[in-house]
Structure 1
Amino acid sequence: MDIFRRYAPFIQDFIYRERWQSLRAVQNAAGDVLFNSGDNLLLSAATASGKTEAAFFPILTLLSEEPSASVGVLYIAPLKALINDQFERLDRLCERADIRVTKWHGDASRSAKERLIKHPEGILQITPESLEALLLHRKAAVPTLFSDLRFVVIDEIHALLRQDRGRQTFCLIERLMRLSGCRPRRVGLSATIGNPKEVGRLLAAGSGHATAIPRMEPGKEHWRLSLEHFWKTGPQSGSGERTPDDRTPALTDTLPLDTPGEAAPRGADPGIGYIFSHSAGKKCLIFTNSREECELVCQELRQYCEAMREQDHFLIHHGNLSASYRESAEEEMQRADSLKSICATATLELGIDVGRLERAFQLDAPFTVSGFLQRLGRTGRRGAPAELWFVMREEPAEARASLPEAFPWYLLQGIALVQLYAEERYVEPPDTRRLPYSLLYHQTMSTLASEGELTPRELARRVLTLTPFERIRKEEYGLLLQHLLRIDHINRTAEGGLIVGIAGERVVNNHKFYAVFQENVEYTVRTGSETLGTIVKPPPAGEKIAIAGRVWAVDEVDHKAHTVLCTLIKGRVPAYFGDVPGSIETRILERMRKALLEERIYPYLQRNAAGRLSEARTLAAHTGLKKTSLLPLGEKIWALFPWLGSYAFLALERFLKLHCKERLGLKGFTSARPYYMIFSMEVGEEEFFEILLDEAEKEFAPEELLYEREVPVFEKFDCYVPEELVRRGFARGVLDLETMLARVRGRFALQDCDRPAITG
């Protein structure tokens, strides 16, 4: 009650109107830090626990008591849709206190932006890319705009911590502080943070404030979780025995699921039919791992509607759809009486309110525990348990398929994600290994374009002192600047200063410069006067494309204007948006192995999934996979199961090919990253391990895992970075050499999979 009494009257009135009986632990904890200290705040609590209100109630109270002479709060979010959603919530809350809220992104009102420039005040909501553009093109306005900035709130901070986009965000905050002379406190919000201490350190870096991380008892989490498996054709895996006594901690409810109806379109996928059957008459989210799959699933579900003579009740939402399509889907889902379901990618994974959802589906397994928790957390609000149904699908293995292809990798991955959190509360930690040379180029060009002419010493002082570049050496930066002079991205003036060169201007003046993540060349798709969204690699006129959950005939492709004109038709075709599969941590692969080799029955597995897991376990036992990671396939062909994450697996591939190939007599190497490798060799099992161990004990530089003259462009702006730095960044910042060598030195042995689970 002390925190409640400290709130401003308009905040107290809001709480009364919402009929809250008491404050939650997260709100008391946030209020204590923000009211009673000068620290930053890292707030990690379950989805729908009230984190946004917990942070903003005290912030708005302080802002109302002592109004800021400029923008008082800078709210940074990774998605425009999240900003739009939070804008409505904050605007209603701030209306009575006369605190203005302004959203600033590509789809936001230009007049509202201009009004804020003239009269800086209140709360500014922005994406990292729009903040980059603001510092680049409105530098003169920044000191006035943020001179009295009190708080920077970073929402869904976990979504930024494992990529250059997060490092860019921290660069921008530090540059803004220097330009405006402000020292705002920082507030990070997320439901899924791994290693909070390290995240707190990153949040504090360059801020001048320590970071407080309140510890709150999570309480018992109630999930309704289901995992089912389907072969796309042929008979299913049958019934698996389930033992009700063996229950996983925190998984308090399981779902006995009905068999979907028999009526289906010709050649229908039974997994999609299962989703159709169990989403009928409900408001649901259907998550996929790519935009291509999102399009295909929506097409198939709509075909089910047509076959069943039902009205179409499926919507679609992903990043390549036009803003109007996405926003209309969000508005439809927010309607209390809506019973539609929406097929989505990660664009709806974060904290966007799409109404009270009854159920979420996940097609196959996501790549991270964080992603699983975020998708689960879209449901279960307002006191109801969170509910997620995994639907795993496989093509039946061909008669001549190899042994590794017979294992259900996505099924094992889904189990591993659930069990890691249930047993250990494990969530992926921030990635601090990267050497951000691509971002170094980006911030160098952005700083020069914003500031104008700078001496090399002054440019280095402004860029290298940004916290994300603390591991970059001065000689490496000198190498980058010399390279940029050679390729005309920067020029030297007669006075010896540096400015953006002609080639550099072409990069900086393109709107795609603001984003540091990879993008494809996109074509805008239109039908009549309506914009549907964007695609990459459009087919020629007369062919078909998939977008907005429907199929279209291509009428005309304008390669100069990057536009595609099309007409709606019936049918089904795959979509292509240039998606890249996500990376997986080693801990997940290790837990997949345990799921395959232990005897435990997971209570959320449904009939087919339990049967499929039982088949896989029997196969693993018969082949000896519990005793070794290297299995013979006949004819000197072997399969290696290293149980390593994506980048440690990649390091092992290169180690075998570049350091062990001759001694092993290695040939015919293929891999299904990060699950297994298949190759032929001239040695036996014991000699294989001895050779690997011998080579691992030799000293060698990480760069020796690169091929001759290889320049592995990995990040967006690597193409403008000196080859030497690109090679170094990939070898020392991408390849996980340390984890790989540890596994080799341990002869690929992992801990006993039958040990008792950690209950956490």
Structure 2
Amino acid sequence: MAGFDLLDPVLQHHIVNSLGWPGLRPLQDESVAPITAGSDAILLAPTAGGKTEAAMFPILTRMQQQRWHGISVLYLCPLKALLNNLQPRIAEYTAWMGRGTMTWHGDVGQSVRDRIKRDRPDVLLTTPESLESMLVSESVDPAVVLGGVQAVVVDEVHAFAGDDRGWHLLAVLARLESLLGRKLQRVGMSATVGNPDELLGWLQGGHTSPGRVIAPTPGGAAAVPEVTVDSVGSVENAAKVIAALHAGEKRLVFVDSRRLAEELGILLRGHGITTFVSHSSLSAAERRESEQAFAEARDCVIVATSTLELGIDVGDLDRVIQINAPRTVSSFLQRLGRTGRRPGTTRNCLLLGITDEAVLSTLGMLQCWATGWVEPVVATPEPRHIAAQQILAAALQTRRVPLTGWQDIWAPLPLFGSDGQEIFDHLLEEGFLEHDSGTAFVGPEAEKHFGRRHFMELLAVFTAAPEFTVFAGRQEVGSVETAVLTDEVEGPRVLLLGGRSWKVTHIDWRRRRVFVESTDLHGRAKWMSLPDGASFEITRGAREVLLGELPAGVTLTRRAVATLDDLRLQRAAHVSRDAFIIERDDRDDWRWWTWAGAKANRTLAAWAPDLVPPRQRIGPESLRLHGGLTVAQIRDGLASLRADTSERPLPLIDKSALGGLKFSAALPESLARRTLAARTVDVGAAETVLRDKTRIVHRAV
């Protein structure tokens, strides 16, 4: 039986008559039977592939068949903006069935929250952090408000699974299941990933219930996207190219830093281009205003970080432009998928390299894409700090946690590993927990570190640098980090925010507020960010390009061809088809050209202190070796590394770095250091490097 025939008759009527669809797409059709049967599922399709309907139509059918009441479906997203964007669409679908949909997140006012608690809509759109705040809140009875939950839909599930928010999501769902005494159906939606079966297993959180990956192969020959690489040499030149190309069209420009978004935005405005800016340090109102204005305009540009990557609707796009390389193939696919949605149009992306190295990184990423490789989604290793946070959050939720059997709350989720009891004992010893009569409860140290504003510090999984809120009059513009307010400047202090320049008129240091007024002076943007560096696969892709490969289906402009020719000449000594190079360069330094990615190189540096000096900036392409080594010593050192079967050391972690691990204060220092160290390495890639054939070249000084 076709999936359409299994849907509730009311849904069938509205799909045909309200949406005007002749039928369901393949993903939607294949999803109905397993989801209405209660199976867990991962739904895979490109952006705008109809994933929301593929999940919600069968779940609404199940809701009607089984007469669910109250909040029975949780729809979880990684971004509040995405929730706001989806709410009208899902509300329309539930209204067809005589059901309701509402949204709860940090920007939702108390009156709306009171209405949700009182009237309890059938579908609640929220974030994992807001769901946890409901579990621990003194004003919410979670057993009553959430007592009817039967299913959870996780949108953009890959965005959770690859970082600590994923562990947090699974842990909160496990606590909800423990409260309700039943397993919840879990349906995740994602664009293409490299390991969908593992992603499904991750989403199930240790449960062994039935599950399906649903990713139908599209029929017919897929249209080839238009992908072009250009070398422009600077941000200023990038602005000139964007201003000159595609007049009359709507262009979405992706950058990978807030600073670059601001700088490019104001440069485009200087060229007379209607330009909007969107990134995480702008106020919600400012972002909404920009995104809505962009959605309604035609001849315009919006410059955005990854905030606009995850499916937020900004209207019908003509072009996507990428400044430098996206950090992953998955991210590139998300961005490419924002175009080509109208009949007769083609997916397209113009990638502008503002440095020669950016052009090489871009081509390395595209080489991986052209071969069909996409990153596997891998959970962050050893999440001990999330384990500590969850113990404290559970103590807030239940008021008392048993001293024995306390891990049962999260069963069968493998969150605590072999260190769970050590973490629990540390919380007791240091006063984060106190105990009597066989149970533990929140102690004074937890209140001291995380208790401000009703334990909001405990319920926020991300660590962010302290920021000051920027106000123009009473209007909140966004936020800036402390450094841009304390660096020495000549003349007035001028900030760049929202693509506009603002002169600082007053700083309220105690309340962390900055007051500004508009100015024509050139502003400055600055945020601290520590990108992890290119992966093993993308770095090896760049090496292949230097050796003569070109990614299939990619057009290079004449400037890009000239840049690549220069790079191949300049880097000829760093690559060879038959071996990887260790060379002594004209500065008498040894350089090991591993082409292994930053994590693998950090791993090798930790494994081989006799070969690799500790104090160096480690990038993705190479490692500097000790200058006094002889060729024989290098060969012996590599042979010893290859033969060593003992447990290899992790990189040393400076104590000052522990502040970057949220909740590290609730861990024994040794466990916090081990957690950070485990996240800086790529053991598999490092072992691949040791298996590579290596040639040592001693060039004349």
TM-score, normalising length from structure 1?
0.85
> How far apart, CA to CA, are the structure 2 residues paired with 1:710 and 1:340?
44
- Cα deviation, 1:323-362, whole Å, max 9, x if unaligned, reads 1111112222332x53322111111000111110000111
| Deviations, residues 660-687 of structure 1 (Å, cap 9, x unaligned) | 35xxxx59x5335223334551234564
Report the 3-state secondary structure (helix = DSSP H, G, I; strand = E; otherwise coil) of the residue aligned with 2:681.
coil
Select 1:521's aligned residue among 454, 458, 466.
Answer: 466
1:608 aligns with 2:559: yes
Query: Quick check: 2:533–2:619 contact (8 Å CA) kept in 1?
Result: no
Change in 2 beyond 3 A, CA 1:49/1:686: farther
> Could you tell me which amino acid in structure 2 is paired with residue 414 of structure 1?
T
Q: Secondary structure at the match of 1:160?
A: helix
Q: Deviations over 1:168-199 (max 9, x none)?
A: 10111111111123432111101122201111
* Cross-structure match for 2:420: 477
How much does 1:10 deviate? 3.6
Mapped contact 1:525–1:533 kept (Cα < 8 A): yes
Aligned match of 2:307: 347
Which stretch of the first structure deviates more once superposed, 99-108 or 510-519?
510-519
Aligned ranges 1:127-526 → 2 under 5 Å:
127-137=127-137, 141-207=141-207, 209-219=209-219, 220-232=222-234, 269-305=236-272, 313-335=274-296, 337-383=297-343, 384-394=345-355, 408-424=356-372, 426-432=373-379, 434-463=381-410, 465=411, 467-469=413-415, 472-473=417-418, 476-493=419-436, 495-506=437-448, 507-508=450-451, 509-526=454-471
SS at match of 2:485: coil
- Equivalence map 1:527-546=2 (5 Å): 527-537=472-482, 538-539=484-485, 542-546=492-496
Alpha-carbon separation, structure 2, partners of 1:348 and 1:620 = 36
Structure 1 residues 599 and 501, CA, compared in 2 at 3 Å: closer, same or farther? Answer: closer
1:571 equivalent to 2:513? Answer: no
CA contact (8 A) 1:433 1:734 kept: no
Which amino acid in 1 is paired with 2:27?
V
The SS at the match of 2:333 is: helix
- Mapped to 2, the partners of 1:115 and 1:711 lie a distance apart of 44
Alignment equivalent of 1:552, drawn from 488, 502, 506: 502
Residues 438 and 716 in structure 1, CA contact (< 8 A), matched pair in contact too: yes
Q: Percent identity?
A: 27
Counterpart in the other structure of 1:256: none
- Which residues of 2 match residues 638-677 of structure 1 at below 5 A? 638-656=590-608, 658-660=609-611, 670-677=616-623
Letter in 2 for 1:126: T
Q: Is the 8 A contact 1:70 1:144 kept in 2?
A: no
Match of 1:262 in 2: none
TM superposition shift of 1:26 = 0.6
Shift in Å, 1:710: 8.6
Q: Over aligned residues, Cα RMSD in angstroms?
A: 2.5
**Partners in 2 of 1:733 and 1:125 — Cα distance?**
32
> How many Å apart are 1:519 and its aligned residue?
1.1
Between the aligned partners of 2:173 and 2:309, the Cα distance in structure 1 is 25
Alpha-carbon contact 2:71-2:120 (below 8 Å) kept: yes
Match of 2:104 in 1: 104
Cα pair 1:193 1:428 within 8 Å, conserved: yes
Kindly tell me: are residues 22 and 422 of structure 1, through their superposed partners in 2, closer, same or farther at Cα, counting changes over 3 Å? farther
On the 8 A contact 2:546/2:575 being kept in 1, the answer is no
Q: CA contact under 8 A between 1:204 and 1:210: conserved in structure 2?
A: no
- Whole-angstrom CA distance in 1 between matches of 2:464 and 2:351: 30
Q: Which residue of 2 aligns with 1:264?
A: none
CA gap 1:542/1:709 in 2 versus in 1, 3 angstroms: closer
Gaps of 5+ in 2: 696-701
SS in 2 for 1:604: strand
Q: Decide whether the 8 Å contact of 2:31 with 2:54 is kept in 1.
A: yes
Q: Which amino acid aligns with 2:59?
A: I
CA distance in 2, matches of 1:707, 1:65: 55
Matches within 5 A, 1:57-96: 57-96=57-96
Q: Give CA deviations for 1:484-511 in whole Å, capped at 9, x if unaligned.
A: 2343222233x35321112202304342
User: 2:602–2:680: 8 Å Cα contact kept in structure 1?
Assistant: no
Q: Which amino acid aligns with 1:502?
A: P
DSSP 3-state at the match of 1:629: strand
Inter-CA distance 416–74: structure 2 relative to 1 (3 Å threshold): same
User: Which residue identity does 2:359 align to in structure 1?
Assistant: L
What corresponds to 2:38 in structure 1? 38
Q: Secondary structure at the match of 1:491?
A: strand
Q: Are residues 78 and 723 of structure 1, via their aligned partners in 2, closer, same or farther at CA, if it must alter by over 3 Å?
A: same
Q: Report SS of the residue matched to 2:232.
A: strand
Q: Which runs of 4+ in 1 moved over 6 A?
A: 707-711
The 2-side partners of 1:451 and 1:703 are apart by 40
**Secondary structure in 2 matching 1:670:** coil
Aligned length: 681
Relative to structure 1, the CA distance from residue 748 to residue 342 in structure 2 (aligned partners, 3 Å threshold; closer, same or farther) is farther
Checking the alignment, whether the CA contact within 8 Å between 1:713 and 1:726 is kept in structure 2 is no
Offset at 1:129?
1.3
Q: Does the alignment pair 1:580 with 2:518?
A: no
CA deviations over 1:75-116 (Å, ceiling 9, x no partner)? 000001111111011112222322111111111243232222
1:527 CA displacement: 1.0
Note the alpha carbon deviations across 1:405-457, whole angstroms, 9 max, x for none: xxx33222222322323312x22112246001110111011111111122321
Q: Distance in 1 between matches of 2:392 and 2:181?
A: 22
- Give the distance between the partners of 1:442 and 1:601, measured in 2 at CA: 45
* Per-residue deviation, 1:599: 4.3
Q: Give distance in 1, aligned partners of 2:408 and 2:243.
A: 58
Q: 2: distance between equivalents of 1:570 and 1:466? A: 59
Q: Which residue of 1 aligns with 2:698?
A: none
Query: Could you tell me whether the CA contact under 8 Å between 1:638 and 1:680 is conserved in 2?
Result: yes
CA contact (8 A) 1:714 1:730 kept: no
Gaps of 5+ in 1: 233-267, 306-311, 395-407, 750-760
Change (3 A) 1:304 1:659: same
Contact 1:636 1:682 in 2 (8 A): no
Offset, 1:601? 6.9
Cα distance change, pair 712–176 in 1 and its aligned pair in 2 (3 A) = same
State the match for 2:699 in structure 1: none
Conserved? CA contact 1:47–1:374, under 8 Å: yes
Change in CA separation of 1:728 and 1:700 when aligned onto 2, cut-off 3 Å: farther
Q: Is the 8 A contact 2:143 2:180 kept in 1?
A: yes
Amino acid at match of 2:599: Y
Task: Give 1:62 deviation, angstroms.
Answer: 2.3
The offset of 1:206, in angstroms, is 4.3
Q: Deviations over 1:200-254 (max 9, x none)?
A: 111223455221113411452431211101223xxxxxxxxxxxxxxxxxxxxxx
Query: Which whole-Å CA distance do the structure 2 matches of 1:582 and 1:736 have between them?
Result: 12
Q: CA deviation at 1:138?
A: 5.2
Change (3 A) 1:2 1:742: closer
Distance in 1 separating the partners of 2:602 and 2:169 = 29
Paired AA for residue 411 in structure 1: V
Query: Contact (CA 8 Å) 1:143, 1:181: kept in 2 or not?
Result: no
